[in-house]
Amino acid sequence: MRGWSRTARAIEGVSGFYGDAGQAPFLDGLRVLVNVLPLTPQTEDILNAGLFARLAQGAYVINVARGQHLVEEDLLAAVQSGQVAGATLDVYRTEPLPAEHPFWQESRITLTPHISALTLREDSIAQIAGKIRALRAGQPIAGVVDVQRGY
């Protein structure tokens, strides 16, 4: 399976699914799928017909990660067939979503304007200032993107 972790940490009472072998048991019968994956070559187009077919009949899909995760035609077909009851999408392959896009005509798909998280001004300023102070002091900075991994 593309994009699945090769390691796992045990948490009491929580089931873990990972690696290539973990995809099917994770998806089989799942009623709600929320995608927050980073966009990498391994996760592009991951939300597709094959994945939707593994979900429980009438499942709900939420994508707040990246538009390139979703094969749009596959979602439309899954919604129109009833395999997927509906979806909420905050990201799209083309932003803003063109007025003629079929998502606008599908009442079972809720569209939001790429605002899955609000940026809180004071918190953001404090975070940026803290990173500048750490950089000046020669300390490591948290949350640095690894360009090789894509996130």
| Contact between 1 and 40 (Cβ < 8 Å) | no
**Angle made by CA atoms 62, 70, 25, in degrees to the nearest 5:** 70
Alpha-carbon distance 95 to 24, whole Å? 31
- Closest-CA residue to 108 (of 127, 132, 83, 135): 83
**Beta bridge pairs of residue 60:** 32, 86
Name the strand (E) or helix (H) holding 134: helix 121-136
Q: CA dihedral in degrees (107, 113, 117, 120; nearest 10)?
A: -140
Which active-site residues does the annotation give?
66, 114
